[in-house]
Structure 1
Amino acid sequence: MHTPLLYTVSELRALIGHERLGRDVAYQLARRYGVRLGKRLLVPRRVVEALLEGRLEELHPAGVGGA
């Protein structure tokens, strides 16, 4: 099965759980750690994994200090 490299905000919320991750917080995460492709705001898989594993603070925001 193919695992996406990027997730939309809706997909992020579905993975985490809509009741656990509100829309506003999901968009804040996407703006901070995500990438914009055209009008789409996408969240990399590594960010989703870090969020699920409780290590989000280890990540650098998008465009800051790293790959």
Structure 2
Amino acid sequence: MTPTASDYQTSKHAINRLCEFVNVDHGNDGVKCFAIHPGGVPTAIGKNMPDIRSCAGTAANSANAPPRC
């Protein structure tokens, strides 16, 4: 979680969930949905995000949880 990024984080989560529902509802019809990360973009929000490389090896960087360093 990053302070002041709630609108961005909410919209990213909504896109991920939308793809999950599309895959469940229409996957048998051959429809696929992918949420693709565009990579780092030097915006004001992006510059304030934690560097996830600094979280490597921490308990917060598990396979089931996003980095929270």
TM-score range relative to shorter protein: under 0.3
Tell me which protein shows more strand as a share of its residues.
1
Scaled by the length of structure 1, the TM-score of the pair is: 0.24
Structure showing greater Rg: 2
> Higher relative contact order by CA 8 Å / sep ≥ 6: 1 or 2?
1
Scaled by the length of structure 2, the TM-score of the pair is: 0.24
